[in-house]
Amino acid sequence: MESAVLSKIMETVSKITGAAADYADLYVQAGVSHSTLFEEGRLDTISSSQSDGLGARVIKGDNTSYSHTIGTTASSAARALSDVADIAGVKAAKLGESGDEPLIEIGRSLPSIDAGFFHDLDRRLRSECKYLRQATFRYRTSVKSMLVIRGDGTIARDDREYTSFVAQVVLERDDELRTGYESRSLLSGVDGFWSGSAAAGAEEIAMSALARGVLMLDAIPCPAGTMMVLLDGTAGGTMVHEACGHGLEAVIIQKVFSVYRDRVGELVASPLVTIVDDATVPGKYGSYRFDDEGTPAGRTVLIENGVLKCYMTDILSAKLGELSLTGNGRRESYMHPPLPRMSNTFITEGESDPDELMSNVKSGLLVKKMGGGEVNPTSGDFVFHVSEGYLIENGRAGRAVKGATLTGNGPESLMNIVGVGSKLVLDPGTCGKSGQGVPVTDGQPTLLIKNITVGGSDTGDGSQAFE
């Protein structure tokens, strides 16, 4: 891209910003992805897609105008900027002879996925377990290059390459169905994603999914009651992401939808708890060099020793709330305006040995893997499903249980953390919000939490309680 063209675009964006607007920017994206789905014993879908386009934005007060179009040329930029200026009611300088050269191109090549080992993997799983009814594998790699031109003179570029592999199995025995699930997702190309061969790495993930499904075939119904819950680091970051993280995104705060509104400086969690959002962790699924507004990635301490320190912001929410800009402006693609979103969000390590934490529990529930769930960000109330859990009996993990759910309140549960383990485990995923999905990583060390309501298949009269 010629610097003269870039300078003209910058001049246009700057003039829009100065024409009674508070802010303007142009986001340009070039991306390509390959994906393969194996299901019902065959390669079901092999697909490739390209996502090239740009979006122009103008902010006036608390109003945002947005226009997007396909194409990454200066001519496309001229159309989008002219359109958004008209929508916002501000005057835009014309780019004139804009040209048809792309403003940005994919920064690296993306090889096609070799999924020839899927059939062998399916046969391997079936030879291991006669109860296997279905095995599903999803393998995806993508690369996205982005360019942000802001009215304040900022120009930022970033290249991101993602790879993910997911294995899910369905088992059936005596008319009872059980599932097992395992995944791996990284900010990495295919070569860096697998420690050895792709076939060996995929088999490791798939066998973990199968083992979890087999375990659940022999699980007993989970008792119900209020009990101590030990969340293993491998349980995933569902608690920190859903019960806390969304409530610390500034847009939720400003819409009065969060229990953490106007509580900066207050004790909102156990003094054992420190929560961080850090987009700079190398190779993690939620990492980036710049966010989708061109703000450099950073490490933000949200809660420190139980005290609320700040919220996650993008440019708009930082302006409206007179808050620090944390570099959390994220979007799924050029078709979406950015929102303040999590990146890699986790509870930091504590000082307790996980085995010692368990030894202090006379009876309770050990959660090794969380499933889905839902949370009300206004109240903080949550319900989470447990996909792998065990009874704790006299300080030791006992029988596996099925049908367990965790019900509680996010702020109360954070206050009820009485032990934090010494090893952090990070778990990748895709966060959906306002119709957009973005890569994230969540995590925690082992957490011992008191007074969580556990629902289960074996409810009895509801009077059973654990200490």
Ranges of each domain in the chain? 3-217, 221-455
Instruction: Say how far apart CA 345 and CA 301 lie, in whole Å.
Output: 10
Q: Residue 460 pLDDT more than 70? A: no
List Cβ neighbours of 66 (8 Å cut-off, separation of 6 or more): 55, 56, 57, 58, 84, 87, 337
pLDDT recorded at residue 51: 92
- Residue 294, sorted as left (phi over 0), alpha (psi -120 to 50) or beta, turns out to be left
pLDDT recorded at residue 98: 66
Instruction: Say how far apart CA 247 and CA 262 lie, in whole Å.
Output: 12
Task: Tell me the pairing of strands 23-39 and 396-402.
Answer: unpaired
pLDDT recorded at residue 465: 27
pLDDT recorded at residue 4: 82
Residue type, 460: G
For residues 303 and 310, is the Cβ–Cβ distance under 8 A?
no
pLDDT recorded at residue 127: 97
Q: Residue 467 pLDDT more than 70? A: no
Q: Residue 1 pLDDT more than 60? A: no
Greater model confidence, 460 or 418: 418
* DSSP element (H, E) containing 291: none
Instruction: Say how far apart CA 160 and CA 332 lie, in whole Å.
Output: 13
* DSSP element (H, E) containing 107: none
Mean pLDDT check: name the lowest of 14-18, 55-59, 93-97, 326-330: 93-97
List Cβ neighbours of 4 (8 Å cut-off, separation of 6 or more): none
Question: Tell me: the pLDDT tens digits for 244-299?
Answer: 899 999 999 998 788 899 999 999 999 999 999 999 999 999 999 999 999 999 99
pLDDT recorded at residue 282: 95
Mean pLDDT check: name the lowest of 3-12, 364-373, 433-442: 3-12
Token pair, residue 266, equals 């207050």
Instruction: Say how far apart CA 98 and CA 282 lie, in whole Å.
Output: 38
pLDDT band of 195, cuts 50, 70, 90? confident
Question: Tell me: the pLDDT tens digits for 119-176?
Answer: 999 999 999 999 999 999 999 999 999 999 999 999 999 999 999 999 999 999 999 9
The average pLDDT across 346-372 equals 94
pLDDT band of 71, cuts 50, 70, 90? very high
Task: State what percent of residues in the chain have pLDDT above 90.
Answer: 80
- CA distances from residue 321 to 251, 253, 293 in whole angstroms, order as listed: 9, 9, 18
pLDDT band of 466, cuts 50, 70, 90? very low
pLDDT recorded at residue 457: 62
Nearest CA-CA partner of 232 in 361, 341, 408, 344: 361
Question: Tell me: the pLDDT tens digits for 376-389?
Answer: 877 889 999 999 99
The average pLDDT across 65-86 equals 94
List Cβ neighbours of 447 (8 Å cut-off, separation of 6 or more): 230, 231, 239, 347, 417, 419, 420, 421
The average pLDDT across 422-448 equals 94
pLDDT recorded at residue 35: 96
The average pLDDT across 415-444 equals 94
Question: Tell me: the pLDDT tens digits for 137-150?
Answer: 999 999 999 999 99
- Single pTM value for the model: 0.93
Q: How confident is the prediction for the chain on average, in pLDDT?
A: 91
pLDDT recorded at residue 191: 86
Q: Does domain 3-217 have CATH number 3.30.2290.10?
A: yes
In 123-242, the DSSP E strands lie at: 132-150, 155-173, 176-186, 220-221, 225-231
Q: Residue 413 pLDDT more than 90? A: yes
